[in-house]
Amino acid sequence: MPYNWIFAATDFLNNDSGGIKSVLKLIGLIILCALIIAASYFTTKFIGKKQIGGRNSNFKSIDVFRVTPNKFLQIVEIGERYFCIAVTKEQISVICELNKDDIKHFPPEEKPKSFKECFSEVVKKKNKEENTESSDFGKEKE
């Protein structure tokens, strides 16, 4: 048994059938790993959509103000109506209903970015930082 473990590379080079089996096992493990990663990606994406409530939700948080570490005032839009609510660890209370005119700033309507867009922004930022560092490298500090 130890012979097989120690000299597995030699057996592979000699075209022993054990070496071919090892390569096939490795390829199978790589395919299995890729399937697991793909399944986890799609599961995460599916669960994320369910937790957010999708884009067709009637509930939207407009603004949040922290009063204390565990107490918040929040302006929420429910359908076409706006409410100011107090949120604590134990309960949620409606303080008042607001008119749309009472609210000064609305969050911008953001279209969710795709992974490709986010990744390209990170790469551009990284490239910009590397270019800045390399251009500053030759300069003397005054």
Q: Map out the domains of the chain as residue ranges.
A: 2-52, 59-102
Give the whole-angstrom CA distance, residue 137 versus residue 131: 10
Give the whole-angstrom CA distance, residue 119 versus residue 113: 10
Q: Mind listing the pLDDT tens digit for each residue in 72-117?
A: 999 998 988 999 999 999 999 999 999 888 888 766 666 777 788 8
Q: Mind listing the pLDDT tens digit for each residue in 121-132?
A: 889 988 888 777
CA distances from 76 to 10, 98, 121, 123 (A): 69, 10, 31, 36
Q: What is the pTM of this model?
A: 0.42
Strands 92-98 and 81-87: antiparallel
Q: Mind listing the pLDDT tens digit for each residue in 14-24?
A: 555 567 888 88
Q: Mind listing the pLDDT tens digit for each residue in 90-100?
A: 999 999 999 88
Closest among 57, 101, 96 to 73, alpha carbons compared: 96
Q: What is the pLDDT of residue 142?
A: 46
Give the whole-angstrom CA distance, residue 45 versus residue 115: 11
